[in-house]
A and B are shown apart, each in its own frame.
Chain A
Amino acid sequence: MSEATIAAPTAGGVPKVSKISETIIRIAGNSQDGIQAIGGFLARLAGRSEQEVMTFMTIPSTISGGPSIFQVRIGSGEVLSSGDDADVLLAFYQHSYEDHISSLKKGGIVLYDSDHVDPKPEWEKDYHHVGVPISGLTVEAIGGTAKDKGKNIFTLGLVAKMFDLNVAKLTQLVSERFTGKDTSVLNNALAAFHAGYSHSLGNVLETFQFVESQKKDGQQVVMNGNEALAYGLIAAGVRFGAGYPITPWSDVMEILRRELPKYGGMFIQCEDEIASISMALGGSYAGRVSVTGSSGPGISLKTEALGWAVMAEMPLVICDIQRGGPSTGMPTNVEQSDLNIAVFGGHGDSPRVVIAPANVEDCFYTAIEAVNIAREYSVPVIILSDQAIATRIEAFTEPNLEKVCQDISPDLTPVLDHKPYDLSVASGVTHHRAPGTKIQSGKYPIATGLEHDELGHPTGSPKLHMQMVSKRRKKLQVLAAKLPTPALYGPSEGNVLLVGWGSTQGPLKEAVDRARTAGDSVSSIHIKHLNPLPPGLEDIFAGFNHVFVVEMNDEGIYGYGQLAGLLRARYCDPKIRGITKTDGLTFKVKEILERAKSNVAAGLRKL
């Protein structure tokens, strides 16, 4: 809460109502407690109230449970990250209380289930403790056994009371959620909600009210990054794809599997990762850009076929929802450590396009852009999303679907003649004619992984290999020249430039805001197009004394993260350095600022 955090008991036992512009609530429990549901309701409510919202969650990689958290940040103004420290901690168990108290702001409120948590006296002076027998009261409200069912909804009621949330909208959301189930389920949920809402928090607590939202640019939709990505692919006109389950990619394929048949398309679950990319390439070859995807380990398996896509110049979209690696690594944690494999992974010289969405909304539009680049340049395009963006829920302005949805069905009109790998085309761009197209000359092309002539027939000619290699490179240089230079956030000259990619955009902007408020000269840019890089970066770097590339990966043997290494190789600029981390969690704003400060103090590295 940006204003007045500590809740002091007020005179006369009348709880005080404070106006706030935003709040961060962390809900900690076990994965089967339905805490994601509370977070989901709050996020959706914020969306419907034209507020900004961002969430962050962790789930254990085991199926049957384990500690789990959901953090939701709701604001009347712009919300750029899921927030550093929480204003409110909802703790269901002793372990939730003990493990997460440190993520609570000093003076914050810890609302705990007094049936399960014994508060520690030494913490009571720093945090405002409010105990509610959540488990017991839930059983009281809805009957049955104390199997913990419904206490999430009870807690939602408590939160609704505390933040003066719109009860009508919330109960509507709860009703929508349980529609179609046994009516007793809905009745129990509503009973639990009202029990929580009417439970007196006593006079120990003030309640809060959000100031009116400034955000008024139309209807909002609320979803997570994987949903936005899947729907973006559908909007882009993708109607065929194939995949293999892996966390956190699976829900993209689940959505496509479920949705594409409505559009006359299909998404196939394959026997393995290699079959998936192969089947998707078959779909692309058959005339319509197709999609496959995975997370780190699966991407490794796909790289041979990716090489074929580069050689045959076959359009394809490959989603990589990054997680902690290498190997099985940290499947439910975030990392940005697949940049190198995305940009360089594979044998031979195999240029491809890599783009990374910045937030949930951007997942939707990045999917469309990826499809269009793949089509226009006949090239595989990798979308580098990550676990944090994939699972976090955000509200964003509803896209104008009538305008953005595209029809990319294949054109099978007969042609006189066709040379897919035509060397006389200056841009180097290939366009395939899908099977089914009659070619009047009677000369049919072959899509091939062998080095080939202009028709796709194999050749051992050194000259042709050189020409074709340069053709495949040149088209990406043509693309690079057309890419937009990233916009600066903050002034174009100063002491520190923070460079980010992917899901770190929000925390970086917030870091700039916070630093500038404190009088520090900090700006940031966000690089969306990672391969090829956009033009104009060197001019931007020239305006700053220090360039810090902030990314969630290891500093590597030579002391630079993956993008920092790429930028140093590209621009030979020694002031490019890294701020990296590998704790599997998203960057906190204060982490970025503290690291930037100590890097500046340490001066340029001498090697």
Chain B
Amino acid sequence: MSSPLAEAPVRSGNIVAVPLPDSERKPLSKKELSADQPTWCPGCGDFSVLALYFKLIEKRKLWHEKITTIAGIGCSSRFPYFVQAHGAHYIHGRALPFASGVSLSRPDLHVFVFGGDGDAFSIGGNHFNHTARKNIKMTYVVMDNWVYGLTKKQTSPTSPTGFKSKTDVWGSMDQPINPMKQAISAGATFVARTTHTNPNHVLQMMEAAMDHDGFGFIECLSECVEFYEGAFDASNPRKGGAFNTVPADHAVTDEMAAYKIADSAFPGYFGIYYNVDRPTKNANEAKINASNQEKVKGLKDWQILQKNFDRLK
């Protein structure tokens, strides 16, 4: 028999000072929330998403230590470095399962995930489907620019057919993914669409997604001025386009209706396509925990394990 080698790590630097109760704390300012200077190109749509995330934190009085900002890889996925809060910059396409680990094991935190279309729908496509169907509580904002920007203009899963990129010099030929349809059919419980050129709407969608108890997904059109300039002009009234909100009579709990408006040609509709209540995985797991813990009530952890060992004699 070998004995456990390592001792518990020694903790240092803990302080005794108790932070102010949340009610007495002042909302965080942009200054307190800004970390690194964003590395995005001037004019990138992602700037407005970052600014609105700061605004959301300020408006909803979220605290540094109560949120976690998580991203995968891509231009937009540099997000966590620009936010002064706990965060993780994970690997390409896998931000959602990483964020799920945080969300499921720490119900006291609000988990925000930011990423791009490649991360969400190409390399991470399967995780998108499964996180949606499992309805794991988090807010996921995909900054969709229809192109791979960080690697300098290759076709993305949302590039429209005919888009000329370095990997499709004759124009993209593959049917693009429709993020709204993808999310609805995967079983997402909150599906919304917005665009970086309408800041108030972005904030509104973020708030609604944050308040949703479950997997809140937002597709935010975010123009890549470097590699796909003008991609979203048709959705921008300042460029002669149309910003059409979801029809007033749209029933957000009607899956077929949501699917139908998702089928509209660009610029399509902006707003909440789908919003239903379905128990989150977080809640379902908590329920399993509660019923299992009821059976071992009053026992210390080692005593619970002892019961198993007694059956193995």
Contact = CB atoms under 8 A, between A and B. Distances in A.
B297 to A, nearest CB: 10
Interface string B133-152: 00000000000000000000
Interface string B25-39: 000000010011000
Contact of B312 (A222, A275, A411, A457): A222
A417 B13 contact: yes
B248 interface: no
A145 B135 CA distance: 49
A458 B84 CA distance: 14
A259 B98 CA distance: 23
A498 interface: no
A528 B2 CA distance: 10
B126 interface: yes
Interface string B245-268: 000000000000000000000000
A440 B17 contact: yes
Q: Classify chain B's interface size.
A: 35 or more
B90 interface: yes
A191 interface: no
Contact of B105 (A288, A368, A450): A288
B6 A376 contact: yes
B273 to A, nearest CB: 24
B64 A266 contact: no
Contacts of B130: 270-271, 275
Contact of B309 (A221, A261, A305): A221
A18 to B, nearest CB: 29
A285 B102 contact: yes
A221 B64 CA distance: 48
Interface stretch (A152-160, A431-439, A508-516): A431-439
A264 interface: yes
A436 B106 contact: yes
B21 interface: no
A215 interface: no
Q: Per DSSP, are chain A's interface residues mostly helix, strand or loop, or mixed? A: mixed
Given A271-B130, A275-B127, A446-B80, A416 B15 contact: yes
A223 to B, nearest CB: 5
B101 A405 contact: no
B193 interface: no
Contacts of B103: 282
A211 interface: no
A352 B17 CA distance: 37
B240 interface: no
A434 B5 CA distance: 24
Interface string A466-488: 00000000000000001110000
A47 B309 CA distance: 12
Q: Classify chain A's interface size.
A: 35 or more
B56 interface: no
A408 B64 CA distance: 24
A271 B292 contact: no
Contacts of B17: 414, 440
28 contacts: A221-B312, A235-B305, A259-B308, A261-B289, A275-B94, A275-B130, A281-B98, A282-B100, A284-B101, A286-B101, A287-B106, A305-B91, A312-B88, A366-B2, A369-B4, A372-B4, A372-B7, A375-B9, A376-B7, A411-B14, A414-B18, A415-B14, A436-B109, A437-B65, A440-B15, A444-B86, A446-B89, A457-B35
- CB-based closest 10 A-B pairs: A282-B101, A435-B86, A372-B6, A278-B97, A261-B292, A405-B302, A275-B97, A279-B101, A271-B130, A282-B98
Interface of A: 44, 47-48, 219-223, 227, 231, 234-236, 239-240, 242, 259, 261-266, 268, 270-272, 274-276, 278-288, 290, 304-305, 307-308, 312, 361-362, 365-366, 368-369, 372-373, 375-377, 396-399, 401-402, 404-408, 411, 413-418, 431, 434-440, 442-450, 457-458, 482-484, 528
Given A220-B313, A376-B6, A449-B91, 4 more contacts: A221-B312, A278-B127, A286-B109, A369-B4
Interface of B: 1-9, 11, 13-15, 17-19, 32, 35-36, 63-68, 70, 80-81, 84-91, 94, 97-106, 108-109, 126-127, 129-130, 285, 288-289, 291-293, 295-296, 300-306, 308-309, 312-313
